[in-house]
Each structure stands twice: as structure tokens, then as C-alpha cells.
């Protein structure tokens, strides 16, 4: 607020605060959206921020016009992602009519919401009435694929966690386009020194790595 009163730009204000210019621009954009005819005021902006951060959030599909539109599009066999993208294009200035695709899935699958008719789940391309959990990447859903003796990141020694002692390395795997090539990465935590390892052939077995 002081910077704006002094005629400074968002970039100048961000530099003084040690923040990204996009952070200041986003804050000013939120203010302009909520108070288009008022100059920026710090106290009211703080109240707005606390209101936005309050939990639980009201569920968007409780809005009847939106719910009716989503139901109609589901019956037309549109996917939740398609519906969300179409609504964002058709209602750019109406936040109440712009749900995320995840909000639509939750309205269909989460028991107790009851905001979309349960039978609409059959309109999804999967045809499933319940949501199938994603396959665990590390194979923990399969007892035969569990990594023996693995240590959770939360159990990492303090000297490795705070990067105070050199010699602790982190490894990861990068997959190329269409999973046709792979690169292993090793990063030393203190110096951030990085080693890239070309891994020829098919996808490496995580247990072998």
C-alpha cells in the first residue's frame, strides 16, 4: 500500500519486499477483482486474504446453475476435464461457473456430497461408479514390489536434512519422450553438484537402482 501510494510499480515494490513481481501483481489483481472502484488498502486486503484462506471452502457444485450445466454435459458424454475447460472459456468473468475437473469428479465419487446424481457416474467414459485409486509408482500396492529396508525421508539424519555435512546424495530418474530414454540423476545435497547418468535400454527397475 505504501509503495502504491508512492507511485511505484509492482516490480519495484516486489524488489523492496524481496518477493517475485508476479506475487505482487497477483495480489493487486485479486484486489481489483474484489474492489474494482477502490484504491488498494492494506487492512481490507488482509481481511480479504484471511477470508480466501478460510476452511472449509464452499463446494462449487452447490451452485444450482452450474450443477445443472455439469449434469447436462455429463449426459452428453463430455469428460470432467472437457467440461471444466469449456466453462472456463464460456464464463471467463464468472468464478462461480468455473469448477475444476477435480471438483466434478469429487461431486460424483465422494459419498455424502450428493450434489450430482449418482447415476451420472455411468456417463463417464470409464463407466465406473467408484473411483479407482492411482497405481502407486513405487509399487507399494504390491507386497512383492516393496523396497526392502527402505528409509522414509522423514527419517533422514539431521546432518543430511540441513545440508550441513557434504557427502549425502539424492538420486532420481528422468524419463524421456514416450518413455524411450532414461537418465539417472545424482545430486550432492550440500554443494548441489549434479551428475547425469545415461541409462540405455528399457526402463530401469527401481529395486535394482
Give dist(CA 95, CA 27) in Å, integer. 17
Final residue in a domain of this structure, among 52, 70, 91: 52
Do 13 and 45 belong to one domain? yes
Do 35 and 87 belong to one domain? no
**In-domain check, residue 207:** no
Write out the residue range of the structural domain in which residue 75 sits.
60-123
Do 12 and 44 belong to one domain? yes
Residue 111: its pLDDT value, please?
46
Residue 89: its pLDDT value, please?
92
**In-domain check, residue 48:** yes
Which residue stretches of the chain are H helix?
Answer: 2-5, 10-17, 21-34, 42-52, 64-75, 80-90, 101-109, 158-161
pTM: 0.41
**In-domain check, residue 138:** no
Residue 69: its pLDDT value, please?
92
Contact criterion met (CB below 8 Å) for 110 and 68: no
**In-domain check, residue 97:** yes
Number of domains in the chain: 3
Residue 127: its pLDDT value, please?
58
The C-alpha cell at 114 is 450428493
Final residue in a domain of this structure, among 35, 52, 69: 52
Final residue in a domain of this structure, among 52, 70, 85: 52
* Residues of the chain with confidence (pLDDT) below 50: 111-113, 137, 139, 207
Do 45 and 66 belong to one domain? no
**In-domain check, residue 73:** yes
Do 111 and 74 belong to one domain? yes
What is the phi/psi pair of residue 124, to 5°? -65, 150
The label of the residue with cell 504390491 reads 142
**In-domain check, residue 26:** yes
**In-domain check, residue 70:** yes
Residue 28: its pLDDT value, please?
94
Residues 6+ apart with CB under 8 A from 70: 61, 83, 99, 104, 107, 116
Give dist(CA 20, CA 22) in Å, integer. 5
Residue 61: its pLDDT value, please?
80
State the CB neighbour count (10 A cutoff) for residue 174: 11
**In-domain check, residue 136:** no
Do 45 and 78 belong to one domain? no
Amino acid at each position: 500500500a505504501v509503495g502504491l501510494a508512492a507511485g511505484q510499480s509492482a516490480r519495484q515494490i516486489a524488489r523492496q519486499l524481496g518477493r517475485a513481481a508476479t506475487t505482487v501483481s497477483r495480489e493487486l489483481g485479486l484486489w481489483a477483482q474484489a474492489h474494482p472502484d477502490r484504491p488498494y488498502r492494506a487492512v481490507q486486503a488482509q481481511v480479504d486474504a484471511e477470508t480466501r484462506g478460510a476452511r472449509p471452502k464452499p463446494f462449487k457444485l452447490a451452485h444450482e446453475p452450474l450443477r445443472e450445466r455439469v449434469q447436462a454435459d455429463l449426459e452428453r458424454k463430455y469428460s470432467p476435464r472437457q467440461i471444466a475447460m469449456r466453462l472456463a472459456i464460456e464464463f471467463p468473468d464468472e468464478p462461480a461457473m468455473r469448477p475444476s475437473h477435480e471438483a466434478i469428479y469429487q461431486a460424483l465419487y465422494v459419498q455424502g456430497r450428493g450434489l450430482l446424481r449418482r447415476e451420472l457416474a455411468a456417463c463417464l467414459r470409464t463407466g465406473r461408479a467408484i473411483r479407482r485409486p492411482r497405481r502407486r509408482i513405487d509399487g507399494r500396492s504390491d507386497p512383492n514390489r516393496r523396497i526392502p529396508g527402505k528409509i522414509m525421508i522423514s527419517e533422514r539424519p539431521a546432518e543430511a536434512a540441513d545440508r550441513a555435512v557434504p557427502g549425502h546424495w539424492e538420486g532420481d530418474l528422468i524419463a524421456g519422450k514416450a518413455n524411450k530414454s532414461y537418465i539417472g540423476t545424482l545430486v550432492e545435497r550440500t554443494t548441489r553438484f549434479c551428475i547425469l547418468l545415461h541409462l540405455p535400454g528399457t526402463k530401469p527397475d527401481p529395486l535394482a537402482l
